[in-house]
Amino acid sequence: MNESATGDAHEVRGDAGPAAGAAGRAGREMAPVAAGAGDGTRAVRAGLPEPAKYEPTLPGPVFAAHYHLPGEPTGPYTYGRDENPTWTLLERAVGELEAPGQDGIETLVFASGMAAISAVLFSQLRAGDVCVLPDDGYQALPLVRAQLEAYGIEVRTAPTGGDAQLDVLDGAKLLWIETPSNPGLDVCDIRRLAEAAHARGALVAVDNTLATPLGQRPLELGADFAVASGTKQLTGHGDILLGYVVGRDPETMAAVRRWRKIVGAIPGPMEAWLAHRSIATLQMRVDRQSATALAVAEALRERPEVTGLRYPGLPDDPAHKVAARQMRRYGCVVSFTLPTRARADRFLDALRLVDDATSFGGVRSTAERRGRWGGDAVPEGFIRLSVGAEDPEDLVADVLRALDASAA
Ligand SMILES: *Cc1c(COP(=O)(O)O)cnc(C)c1O
């Protein structure tokens, strides 16, 4: 048969037929979307293997504790704690979003955001090292601090706002940045902090959870690691936990990889596949959610009972100027304070389109009184509202109605 007469270019590619094994499927690398492509284009194609006849666009999850491995035990796929083809595709996708067009980038996925954070900190720091953390970051950071200190690592903290971490950098081995910070939504200047840290020989990691890679790209701003919880807006449906680390230096990333192997904090193949599937809609979700978050913030700004309103996308927000320099989208979280704890509870009760639940970034709006957890330094009436993909008019109306209903 004359193959070219079939007109099917895929058929003559050789090794990529339906019989290709798991390793083969992930190994069929497709050229990443050009660095200049739009975010939506990149999101729908990120990490996909080269098309092959009779194969799905995004291969399904590979469930394997071990792989056929006769002879010398060389990779890429040997044992399920070390590597998995479904991770490989997801890692490529995340890498293409966090560092489009950059060569030599390595991405590792983890079971959760905390697994990714711990992997960087505990693989890079030794007893006697100094680590700088934010004092207003994710609520588990104080637990991390206690563990680092138990291992003989000195931990210094400073607020995110005003680039205050600059003042405690001397002698540091690693600077940990979280911007925008959760839940206070303060922002610091990543480039400025990274330059100051590098001048002192320190590594720089940025928690990019709230911004997502479509909101901000820490590696381009000078960071050594972009780290995030994929549990939030990256996957966006509130149904999986995931984390990732993206880095540019093979040696430091080898230590992060080794840590993942030692601790075994690996994502299940199903979670990894769901995450990859969800990333296809990332640009649509992030654009919709940030536009609606701005509309909600603008509506809240008009209300006398609302104080401490924060949204980095609001032109008069204290963080807006620095945020506008380094962010391309401002996220889906709005925070504000109601006069009392009781008022805040009544407000949350009165909402119909917003679930009273923790976490953020999902397609369904959620809100909570953050003070109920303890740990965050926030007033009793502090609300963290995560804006979902509902119609903006419906959501704004629901929030305003709930504010009215909670007044009495
Ligand atoms: C949720 C969150 C984490 C932790 O992520 P998990 O997936 O819950 O482990 C870390 N950093 C920030 C900023 C977060 O919001």
User: In sequence order, which residues have a C-beta less than 8 Å from that of residue 139 and are 6 or more positions away?
Assistant: 182, 373, 375, 376
Average pLDDT over residues 161-167: 98
Q: Let me know if residue 173 belongs to a domain.
A: yes
Q: Let me know if residue 2 belongs to a domain.
A: no
- The phi and psi torsions of 207 (rounded to 5 degrees) equal -80, 110
Say if residue 16's pLDDT is above 60: no
The DSSP bridge pattern shows strands 366-369 and 382-386 to be antiparallel
> What's the CA-to-centroid distance between 277 and ligand 1, angstroms?
20
Q: Is 229 in the pocket of ligand 1 (CB under 6 A)?
A: yes
**pLDDT score recorded for residue 6:** 37
Nearest CA to ligand 1 atom 7: 113
> What's the CA-to-centroid distance between 317 and ligand 1, angstroms?
24
The three-state secondary structure class of 307 is: strand
Nearest CA to ligand 1 atom 5: 113
CATH number of the domain that 81 lies in? 3.40.640.10
Q: Is 209 in the pocket of ligand 1 (CB under 6 A)?
A: yes
Say if residue 142's pLDDT is above 90: yes
Q: Let me know if residue 305 belongs to a domain.
A: yes
Say if residue 23's pLDDT is above 90: no
Q: Let me know if residue 388 belongs to a domain.
A: yes
Based on the domain organization, do 399 and 316 belong to the same domain? yes
Based on the domain organization, do 306 and 178 belong to the same domain? no
- Structural domain span for residue 161: 18-279
Question: What ligand 1 atom has the least distance to the C-alpha of 210?
Answer: 13
CA–CA dist 398, 396 (Å, integer): 5
CATH number of the domain that 325 lies in? 3.90.1150.10
pLDDT category at 27 given cuts 50, 70, 90 is low
pLDDT category at 30 given cuts 50, 70, 90 is low
**pLDDT score recorded for residue 29:** 63
pLDDT tens digits for range 61-80: 999 999 999 999 998 999 99
Candidates 135, 229, 233, 384: which one to mutate for ligand 1, based on the most atoms within 8 Å of Cβ? 229
Average pLDDT over residues 241-266: 98
DSSP class of residue 66 equals: B
Say if residue 25's pLDDT is above 60: no
- How far is residue 300 CA from its own chain's centroid? 27
Based on the domain organization, do 24 and 165 belong to the same domain? yes
Structural domain count, the chain:
2
- Which of 232, 227, 179, 213 shows the shortest CA–CA distance to 357? 232
Nearest CA to ligand 1 atom 2: 229
pLDDT tens digits for range 51-63: 999 999 999 999 9
Average pLDDT over residues 168-178: 98
Q: Is 317 in the pocket of ligand 1 (CB under 6 A)?
A: no
Nearest CA to ligand 1 atom 4: 113
